[in-house]
Amino acid sequence: MIRAAICDDSPALGEEIRNLFQKCCREAAEGCQTVLFQDAGNLLYEVQDGAHFDAFLLDIEIPDMNGLELASRLKAFLPDAFIIFISSYDNYVFQSFQVQPFRFIPRSRMGELLPPAVSDMAALIAASEGKYLIAENQRTLEKISVRKILYIFQKGKYAHVVKTDRTCTRVRKTLKRIRLELPEDEFVWIDRGHIVNIRHIERIESTRICLKGKIELEVSLNRLSDLKQKVRAYWLDGKR
């Protein structure tokens, strides 16, 4: 999950950035928490007081403190945090290199450039967390980010890993063995032959789950109650 701080002295623009950022996270199948600041000093105080953020989305023209200075001071406390500048002033691009931002996004192109930035950031966070499934068969060896796994099903001697791009990788392992290699709170059994990534579940209807991409799978009755409980807990925890 990405925890992000957004700093813009305009409440309307700050809210616009937050809504777009949250949408980008949903599209990247990444949970997020966002905190909106209108004052650079308040944000810096929170970080100095121990608040942790994975990413900062900053305006550059901020009263009392230039966004470049703010970024530099934030990175002194959180050196691994991602800095994304969103500004109407393109003339700051080269100046921003001083603090090595992850992206510099012109406000006029925010809708176009923020989604790939969030997707890339989520992938880098996943890599740093080491959340991968190693899939191997006679022909291939593949490292699959768990975020890209929709569901896994057993057929014969092979488990089939279905990914968000609709490709499928075949692995000669049992589902029980694969389940042990996946994050405990992100995957759930829906019957004896299927494991599903909770982050991709959009709704549960009767005895069916609906995944992103209009994929529907049947849930066995004896697992339905447990499934609802785990999905509810996952959503309430803010990971959706």
Are 162 and 210 contained in the same domain? yes
> Do 192 and 75 reside in the same domain of the chain?
no
CA-to-CA separations, 181 to 5, 135, 159, 169, 187, in angstroms, rounded? 32, 11, 13, 16, 11
Quick check: 240 pLDDT over 50? no
Q: Are residues 35 and 106 in the same domain?
A: yes
122 and 139 assigned to the same domain: no
36: CB partners within 8 A, 6+ apart: 6, 8, 14, 15, 18
Same domain membership, residue 51 and residue 146 = no
Print the domain residue range for 182.
Answer: 132-236
Query: Do 96 and 162 fall within a single domain?
Result: no
By C-alpha distance, which of 239, 238, 179 is closest to 190?
Answer: 179
Asked which of 96, 112, 129 is the last residue of a domain, the reply is 129
pLDDT value at 164 more than 60:
yes
- Tell me whether strands 141-145 and 132-136 are parallel, antiparallel or unpaired: antiparallel
Name the pairing type of β-strands 208-211 and 201-205. antiparallel
> Are the CB atoms for 219 and 209 separated by under 8 Å?
yes
Position 103: which residue type?
R
Identify the pLDDT of residue 176: 92
pLDDT at 208: 96
Q: Are residues 144 and 232 in the same domain?
A: yes
Same domain, 72 and 158: no
Same domain, 179 and 84: no
| Number of separate domains in the chain | 2
Please give the share of the chain, as a percent, with pLDDT higher than 70.
97
Backbone torsions φ then ψ of 219, nearest 5 degrees: -115, 135
Residue 13 and residue 123 in one domain: yes
Answer yes or no: do 189 and 89 share one domain: no
pLDDT of the residue at 238: 53
| End residue of a domain, out of 129, 145, 165 | 129
Compare 193 and 95 and report the one with higher pLDDT.
Answer: 193
138 and 124 within one domain: no
Q: Which residue, 129, 157, 176, sits at the end of a domain?
A: 129
SS3 62: coil
- Domain containing residue 71: CATH number: 3.40.50.2300
What is the pLDDT at residue 92?
Answer: 74
Buried b / exposed e over 94-122, threshold 16 CB at 10 Å, is eebeebebbbbbebeebeebbbebbbebb
CA 12 from centre of chain: 24
Q: For position 149, which CATH number holds?
A: 2.40.50.1020
Residue 169 in tokens: 């990788």
What is the rounded average pLDDT for all residues in the chain?
Answer: 89
d(CA 79, CA 200): 31
Q: Which of the four pLDDT bands, split at 50, 70 and 90, describes residue 129?
A: low
